[in-house]
Every structure is written in C-alpha cells, then in structure tokens.
Amino acid sequence: MALRKTDRGWKFIDESELETFVWDNLEEIFELKPLTRQLSIKGEICDILATGENNQLAIIELKNIEDRYVINQLTRYYDNLLEEQPLKTNINYDKEIRLLAICPSFHRHNLIDEKHSKLSFSLFTFFLVYENNEFYFHLSQIHNQSETKIIKIKYQEVNLQNQENDNIPEPPRLLLDWLGSLTNTEIENLTAIRHQILSFDHRIEEIIVNKSILYATKYGKDKMRVCAEFCYARKSKKMLLFLWLIIPSRQNKTIARMQIDPTEEYLTYRRYAPVKEGSIFWEKFFNHIYYTVPENKGSFLKQGIFVDDIKSLVDKALQIWLERIN
C-alpha cells in the first residue's frame, strides 16, 4: 500500500489505496468474497460489491476523509442494484442486501440519515497505527466498539539520509510516500537514479507538478526543460520512470517524453515508448519494439528484446537535457 504521513499521523495516500486494501482483505475483515470493484450502474459507481453466505450481496462504500453523504450514496446504490439486478448468477437478490460504509469518521448528518432510514447500515471507522516499525489498520463498528479488527499493512517508512558532503536536497514527502510501498532493493535502485539525476548539474531541480515529480530546470516565464519524471501507478503499485529521449528510428531528432519499461527492480530496462498526454501510442511507434543498446553492452532475452542498464539510459537523457539548455 502507499501511505502518507500527516501532522496527525498516517493515512492512505488516496481513496483508491484504501479501496485496494479493503478489497484484498475482505475475507479477513467481513468474511466476504470479492465480486467486483467500481461497478457503474445508472450513472452511479459502487466502490466494492462482495458476497457472503448463500450469495448474499454486500455493498461497500469507502471514504478516505469524512463525508456527509455516505448514507445517501449507499441508498442510491441499493435502489439501482435492486432495479437492474446485475451479476444475477453471482448474487441472490432475494436475500437482504448488506450496506456497509468505511470512513475515518462520520459526519453527524450521516448518523441522522441512518436514524431515519428504513434500510439497515453497518458503519465502520478506521485509523492507521505505526508501532515497532510496522503499520496496522484498525477497524471498528461505530455502534459496537468492543470488536476491533487489526490487520497488518505492507508498508515501510522510508528515511533517505544524505551522505556526508552530499549536495543532493532532501527528498520530497511525496516521493517518500511512494517509496514506502516498494521493496528495499527497489528503493535503493530508484534512490540511485534520483541521485544520478540531481548530482549531474546543480541547475536541475526537483519539482512537484500534478502528483508527478519532475527533474527540470526553469527558464522564461513558467517554462521548463525536463529530463526525467517520477510518478506512482496506483494499479501496479510501482513507480513509473519517464525520460526525455530521442524517438528511435526517426530521421529528425525528435525528443519526446518516453515511458521506460524497467526490469530487475529498476536496474535494467527492456524498452521505452513515446508518451503523449499520459497515453502510450503503441500503434504509431511500436509496430515492432524499439530498443537501444550501447555497443558491446546489453544481454539478449527471448522474443528479441534487449535488456540494458537503466543508468546508461538516464545518462543519455541527461546529456540530451544538457544540449537543450546550452
């Protein structure tokens, strides 16, 4: 999981992380079997649908912050599902539908709505605990605090201490939050990439823009020359690396933002693809897989794909950046 540290403690980095955690632990938390996530029905999107004994349906709504409309949402989901009855082979709609909400706290309006509703709701609050270098998810039903579920979270706090005489700036909190969900080897290798970039030239800055970390130099009014970018992929739970490189096999030296496909815990890469507005255009550039391998370097893998050292590719992006700013 990806967590982030706040003044009041730790929390999930966003609602999708909370949803993934609950989804992965449904059986332990509620003795339910996962059915589907983010189901769209009549313009509404249900976070999680699960089933219990005899295919009884459970609708679960999650919030990473306090929200005053949880009961209203669950009521609409209940009505939509009863009317449309999707996934009938997996759900017994003759049985009462369970309505569950998980939030860090409940606005008093939710409690008023619950009190006067004809439906039955199960409301749960949660918080995260960090003790003995481990993270735990605590879940309690608001009307029955005696039974608390405690589940370990796979995460570690990352503290990147600069070495002596190291001019690399302290990492941003966002980067530390992302790294905490990775393995120690991945953290070490990604930290080395960051060090390689920032130590190349004192003009390269670490800039956070739209939940991405850019490595760039500023010029003019609101302009940047970027050489690299980190961001976090929620679905794969991995860091994504982008480099500004020359598009392979083009006569003119067109520089584009390229997504790197890393292997071996960010030590090597298999390929890179041009990215425009966040989407990979495989058809345009990838009728076959392009690859770059320095002379006498790289090892040959199956399916004709070369693997090369990411360090050399980062160095290539840095050299391109240097030529562009000079």
pLDDT digits 0-9 by tens, 262-286: 888 999 887 787 775 443 333 333 3
Rounded CA separation 96/90 (Å): 15
- Contact (CB, 8 A) for 306 and 298: yes
Tokens of 183: 């393995």
CA atoms within 13 A on the CB side of 220: 5
Rounded CA separation 49/60 (Å): 6
- Would you state the pLDDT for residue 292? 35
pLDDT (tens digit, 9 = 90+) per residue, 48-100? Answer: 999 999 999 999 999 999 999 999 999 999 999 999 999 999 999 999 999 99
- CA 168 to chain CA centroid, Å, is 26
pLDDT (tens digit, 9 = 90+) per residue, 123-136? Answer: 999 999 999 889 99
Tokens of 294: 């320095």
pLDDT (tens digit, 9 = 90+) per residue, 149-203? Answer: 999 998 888 776 554 446 788 888 889 889 988 888 999 999 999 999 999 999 9
- Would you state the pLDDT for residue 249? 66
Q: What domains, with CATH codes, occur in the chain?
A: 3-153 (3.40.1350.10), 173-325 (no CATH)
**Alpha-carbon distance values, 323 to 80, 107, 225, 317, 320 (Å):** 58, 56, 11, 10, 5
For residue 212, the SS3 value is: strand
DSSP string, 119-177: S-EEEEEEEEEEETTEEEEEEEETTEEEEEEEEEE-------PPPTT--PPPPPHHHHH
Rounded CA separation 141/146 (Å): 8
pLDDT of 250 above 70: no
Return the beta strands (E) in the chain as ranges.
Answer: 3-6, 9-12, 33-41, 44-51, 57-62, 98-103, 121-131, 134-141, 144-153, 205-209, 212-219, 223-233, 238-246, 255-263, 268-276, 279-280, 299-300, 306-309
Kindly give, in sequence order, each residue whose CB lies less than 8 Å from that of residue 38, ignoring residues fewer than 6 positions away: 45, 46, 47
